[in-house]
A and B are shown apart, each in its own frame.
Chain A
Amino acid sequence: MSQKTVEYVVGRNPEMGMDARPTPSPMAPFDVPEPDLGSEHMLINIGPQHPATHGVLRLVCELDGETVVDVTPHIGYLHSSFEKLGEYRTWNQIVPLTDRMDYLAPLIYNCAYVMSVEKLAGIEVTERCKVVRVILMELDRVFGHLLWLGTTAIDVGAFTPFLYTFHERERIYKMHETYTGARITTSATRVGGMMADLPDGWIAELTHFLDTVPATLKEVHRLLTGNGILIGRTQGIGAISAEEAVNYGFTGPNLRASGVAYDVRKDQPYYDYETYDFEVPVGEHGDCYDRYLVRMEEMEQSLRILRQAIRRLPGGPINVADPNVSLPSKTDAMSDMESMIHHFKLITEGLKVAPGDCYLPVEASKGELGMYVVSDGGTKPVRWRVRPPSFVNIAVLPKLARGHLISDLIMINASLDIVLGEIDR
Chain B
Amino acid sequence: MWPLARYLTARLLRALLTVFGVVTLVFLLVHAIPGDPVQAMLGDQSSAEDRLALRRALRLDQPLLDQYALFCGDILSGSLGHSFRNQMRSVASLIWEVAPDTLALALAAMLVALAVALPLGTLAAVRRGSRWDELASSLALLGIAIPNIWLGPLLVLLFGVWLRVLPMPGDDASWAALVLPALTLGAALSAILTRQTRAALLEVLTEPYIRAARGRGIGEFTLVVHHAMRNALLPVLTVAGAQLGALLSGAVVAEKIFERRGIGSLFLEAFFDRDIPVVQGCTLCVALFYVSVNLGVDLLYGVIDPRVRFS
Q: Does B bind A?
A: no
